[in-house]
Homo-oligomer: A and B are copies of this chain.
Amino acid sequence: MTYNLESFYFTLNMYDLRRMNVMSEITPFRLLISREKAVETVLDAVKPVDRVELVQIEMAANRVLAKNIVANMDVPPFDRAAMDGYAVRAEDTYGASEFSPKTLRLVGVLRAGESTNKSIGRGECMRIATGCPIPPGADAIVMAEFAEESKDGNTVSIFKAVHPLENISPKGEDLKKGEVVLREGDILSPAKIGVLAALGLRRAPVYQKPRIAIIPTGIEIRELGFKLAEGQVYDINSYTLASLLIENGALVTRAPIVPDNREDLKNALYRFLNHDLIVFSGGSSVGERDMLADIIEEEGKLLFHGVQIKPGKPTLFGIVRGKPVLGMPGYPASCLSNAYIFLVPMVRKMARLPPKKPTIIRAKMARRFVSASGREQFLPVKIIDGKAYPVFKKSGDITSLSKADGYVILPVNLDVIEEGEEVSVTLFE
């Protein structure tokens, strides 16, 4: 059969018209938007969480501080010895050397945890442990290595001069009372937690984690641990999404599975609107997805339905009563790959965490890959000996992702990527 140019165009148009027709029976036709535009839309729509809670500091690592922390005291709270040695009046040591030591009277000993009111007078010294408050009158510490006690313990020979304040950590040197020592927005590292501890604070004011509801949908989806009936499969998406979201700073509520009918979907949406974000983990058929789109359109505003990426075209997003609602594709590999693209950035913004800096490596394609979808392609790959092997099977296959080390995003206009071509692989870890 031969096609002339005209009939070829005609053919295309017929396909397009039929596709629009088929879809319009089940759903109004909608234009796909680009991935960049979709990411921008979801990020614009979500707000960082403002609610604050107090968290035990040892559990506060990677949480985001909600208030400036002003030092309520000086740290150290007193001038203290920075070395084991002898507290002296510095001027008594001037001129001391290995060959002409100065001799001071030993008037006491301060062991760890001890302090004294006893004053150090001219020509006197006191043995002192690191961390002890400097006794009145003394203004420097001679390190133990540069001093020698007499046999009777009455005097100490000083072999090295010290200047005033030498080997002393002055009060407030580390943290000064009234100073802002940590700032709102700081992510609490172990060292910053140490600053809170230094001030005696047991709990830190941090922003609450965003509360995200995951609602698995689909009449064919079964709860884990139950026996499958004919035609049923286990719920995968709510578990992959939950673990990914928890890792990225969210608090997740997993709803029971909702059958894909309007009434139940709408009830579930309203039941979980007390969350900061509602994610439907998606039915696999067109009908189910469009039901959700219709509900969002009726109850709020649908911002997009359909993204120009493969897999993941059916992703949809809208706002209902001020709350962002995301509908994910039902197929496990599509759902999870779209979660990396859309959900992770949203959640991190809500949690006030910086965007994830993924590790990106360059690798050569181990074999030719054809991508003629007319959309961007999210291509999971396994890295073996520095080469990228595509592992994508079907959107429905979770092993498309579980066996992958990372993914490549192939541009819309790329149909074929040849063996040996270099690609940028974003690693999952």
Contact = CB atoms under 8 A, between A and B. Distances in A.
Interface of A: 1, 11, 14-15, 18-19, 21-22, 57-62, 73, 75-78, 80, 82, 84, 97-99, 111-115, 129-133, 144-146, 148, 159, 169, 173-175, 181-182, 188-202, 218-220, 222, 224-226, 228, 230-244, 246-247, 252, 254, 259-260, 283-288, 330, 332, 336, 339, 393-394, 396-399, 401-402, 404, 428-429
A197 B287 contact: no
B402 A231 contact: no
Contact of A332 (B57, B145, B194): B194
A324 to B, nearest CB: 21
A385 to B, nearest CB: 18
Given A114-B231, A200-B226, 17 more contacts: A57-B243, A58-B243, A59-B246, A61-B246, A61-B247, A112-B218, A112-B260, A112-B283, A132-B220, A132-B231, A169-B394, A173-B397, A182-B402, A190-B247, A193-B240, A200-B224, A200-B228
| Copies of this chain held together in the complex | 2
A222 B202 CA distance: 12
B336 A190 contact: yes
Given A58-B239, A194-B332, A286-B84, A131 B220 contact: yes
By Cβ-Cβ distance, the 8 closest A-B pairs, closest first, are A113-B219, A115-B231, A191-B401, A113-B220, A61-B243, A191-B402, A129-B285, A194-B240
B190 A234 contact: no
A175 B82 contact: no
Contacts of A332: 194, 198
A234 B199 contact: yes
A240 B77 contact: no
B287 A112 contact: yes
B225 A19 contact: no
Given A202-B224, A224-B201, A399-B174, A230 B190 contact: no
A342 to B, nearest CB: 14
Given A19-B145, A112-B218, A220-B131, A398 B194 contact: yes
